Every structure is written in C-alpha cells, then in structure tokens.
C-alpha cells in the first residue's frame, strides 16, 4: 500500500502565534528576565518541545516543568492561534484524487493535533493522524514515521512525506520514504536542500503533480 504523510505545523498550518506566545509564557513563569521575542523563537516550530527548551534553558533545566508551563497556555488558547496556509484545502482535495490515503504525521501530541485539525476543518480531508504521546514518545519524526508505517502497513518505497523542516526530511529518509520540502514553512531553502529532500515545492498547488511524478502514478 502507498501512503502520503503530511507534517502539520509549518506545512498545513502556520502556528507561529500560538507556539511562540506559549513558549514566552513558559519562560516568564520560569523567571527568565530576557525572554526572546516571537520572531526569535520561530526555530522552535518543528522540533519537539523538550529539544527546544533544552536549547533555550540548557540540558540541565527541568524540561518537564517547562513543557508543562507551555501547555498551560497552549491547550487553553495557543492551539487555536494558527492559520491554514493559502491553498492547503485545494492541495488536500487534489491529493485525495490520487486515491492514496492521507495521514498527518506530527511531533505534536495526537490529542492536541486531532482537536486542531477538526477546529480548522482539515479533519475531513485526511484518513488518519499520527502524533506523539504527552510524555514525548514518538516526538522524534523518524520514530513517528516508523510507527505510522507499522500501523498502516504502508510500503515506505511507495510512500511520501511532505514537510517544511529537516526533521521531516531526515525522518523520512531514515524510513526509506521519499520526501517533498515545503518552502512556505519554517525550514527554508538552505535547510531543506541540506537535508536532501527529493523535491522542493514553493507553493501548495505544486504538490499534487510532484506526488504523481515521484510515486510514478501516471505510469
């Protein structure tokens, strides 16, 4: 079976407002005096929260406390402070016309991600969602995709991952899945080139044709 896996944050949704404000909330609650501006925290969109807070606070900080403080604000309002990128609805509908199942694969906890995709009207366009557990299990994208492949029975050599960060591309490669880098997200051209994505898309409307080409669906 073939399958298409899609990242959520930075690929389908722009979550900058909710994520960065919730990180700032956590840092203030922890007593940090010089809290970074929102624009200085966009690199945190993609990796796991534990990884991001480890960089900001140092590896010896109480990362579980930081994540808990982040979630205080995020679960109340932050998860809804996002926008669906222009063209995503059309992209998903075009991908559905390929006949392949569509699965979201996100490092975000699946309990949050399911609420988010339903809130923003994406849930009806996908066939399933794979996310991390609240304790961070499966937050690593390679581990998450391995889990998704095992659960779906999808053939990695006939499947594809679409994402905006190196974590998506490297996670796909670790599972022998081809990948498309989404340049409208938070990774950028240089990061996605260095990660060696199989293709790069500058706009969601380019994705369906790239999927058809990479998976040989027009043969």
Which residues are known catalytic residues?
Answer: 7
Token pair in block for residue 10: 């930075």
Relative to beta strand 128-132, strand 13-14 is: unpaired
- Cβ-contact 196, 173 below 8 angstroms: yes
Question: Are the C-beta atoms of residues 53 and 115 closer than 8 Å to each other?
Answer: no
Rounded alpha-carbon distances, angstroms, from residue 72 to 17, 26, 50 = 15, 8, 15
Retrieve residue 123's tokens. 């849930």
Helix (H) or strand (E) holding 12: none
Encoded tokens for 12: 């389908």
In sequence order, which residues have a C-beta less than 8 Å from that of residue 110 and are 6 or more positions away? 129, 130, 131, 132, 133
What does the alpha-carbon distance between residue 186 and residue 11 come to, in Å, rounded to a whole number?
A: 9
Q: Provide the 10 A C-beta neighbour count for residue 169.
A: 29
């Amino acid at each position: 079976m073939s399958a298409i896996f899609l990242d959520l944050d930075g690929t389908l949704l722009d979550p900058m407002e909710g994520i960065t404000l919730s990180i700032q909330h956590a840092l203030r609650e922890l007593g940090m005096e010089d809290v970074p501006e929102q624009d200085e925290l966009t690199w945190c969109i993609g990796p796991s929260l534990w990884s991001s807070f480890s960089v900001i606070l140092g590896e010896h900080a109480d990362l579980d406390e930081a994540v808990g403080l982040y979630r205080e604000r995020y679960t109340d309002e932050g998860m809804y402070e996002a926008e669906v990128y222009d063209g995503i609805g059309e992209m998903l509908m075009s991908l559905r016309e390929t006949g392949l199942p569509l699965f979201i694969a996100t490092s975000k906890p699946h309990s949050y991600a399911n609420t988010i995709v339903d809130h923003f009207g994406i849930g009806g366009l996908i066939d399933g969602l794979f996310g991390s557990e609240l304790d961070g299990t499966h937050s690593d994208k390679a581990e998450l995709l391995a889990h998704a492949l095992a659960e779906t029975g999808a053939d990695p050599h006939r499947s594809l991952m679409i994402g905006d960060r190196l974590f998506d591309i490297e996670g796909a490669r670790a599972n022998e899945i081809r990948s498309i880098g989404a340049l409208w997200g938070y990774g950028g051209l240089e990061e996605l080139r260095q990660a060696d994505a199989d293709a790069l898309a500058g706009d969601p409307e380019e994705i369906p044709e790239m999927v058809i080409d990479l998976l040989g669906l027009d043969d």
